[in-house]
């Protein structure tokens, strides 16, 4: 790869990080954030497949979005709890063989979505594609995936807060309606 081509890729990645940060700046639903994360990770890292999983505090999957990654019932929970991902659950970006995750890929790169020391999710990409066939993920890919994951984490957290506030608002509206109806019935007595 020539120096100018490498510089072009760096610029494209920086622009993607900026675009993602702007896209995630407003209120977004958790599912939208997870979808955006996996799409950008797969697209910019030239991966054959990818998966993004948002996690509840119990580390149970909340939202799962994949691109070319086989997902079956329970497979996201098994992936997240896999011993091979211990370092990811602790906050490290990890590179490993797909077989260590039970996935049909040669190489997998996994990054944690950390927000205030809480694991909000994980994003993984598999098998970097190149003109010559398949290439290995390099250190720049690791840095880029970490950046995407770290940008997505607070957006996942704020999406959850937004959904909770909306749930509480609806509940309060129902209580207010019931109180008004009860007050109207008492006034008629």
Summarised one tens digit per residue, pLDDT across range 17-52 is 787 777 777 778 899 999 999 999 999 999 999 999
Residue 2 confidence (pLDDT) above 80: no
Residue 186 pLDDT: 66
List residues bridging with 108 in a β-sheet: 96, 126
Nearest to 103 by CA among 89, 84, 122: 84
CA angle 57, 63, 65 (to 5 degrees): 140
Summarised one tens digit per residue, pLDDT across range 115-130 is 999 999 999 999 999 8
Residues 71, 49 contacting (CB under 8 angstroms): no
Percent of the chain beyond pLDDT 70?
96
Instruction: Tell which wins on pLDDT, 172 or 1.
Output: 172
> What tokens does 34 get?
């997870």
Percent of the chain beyond pLDDT 90?
56
Residues 12, 141 contacting (CB under 8 angstroms): no
Residue 96 confidence (pLDDT) above 90: yes
């Amino acid at each position: 790869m020539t120096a100018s081509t490498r510089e072009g890729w760096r610029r494209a990645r920086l622009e993607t990080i900026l675009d993602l940060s702007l896209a995630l700046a407003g209120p977004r639903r958790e599912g939208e954030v997870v979808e955006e994360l996996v799409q950008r990770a797969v697209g910019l890292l030239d991966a054959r497949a990818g998966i993004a999983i948002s996690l509840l505090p119990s580390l149970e999957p909340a939202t799962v979005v994949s691109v070319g990654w086989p997902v079956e019932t329970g497979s996201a929970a098994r992936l997240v709890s896999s011993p091979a991902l211990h370092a990811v659950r602790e906050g490290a970006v990890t590179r490993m063989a797909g077989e260590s995750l039970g996935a049909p890929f040669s190489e997998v790169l996994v990054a944690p979505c950390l927000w205030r020391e809480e694991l909000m999710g994980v994003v993984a990409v598999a098998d970097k594609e190149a003109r010559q066939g398949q290439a290995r993920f390099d250190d720049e890919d690791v840095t880029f995936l970490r950046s995407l994951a770290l940008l997505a984490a607070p957006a996942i957290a704020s999406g959850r807060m937004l959904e909770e506030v909306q749930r509480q608002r609806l509940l309060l509206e129902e209580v207010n309606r019931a109180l008004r109806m009860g007050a109207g019935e008492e006034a008629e007595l």
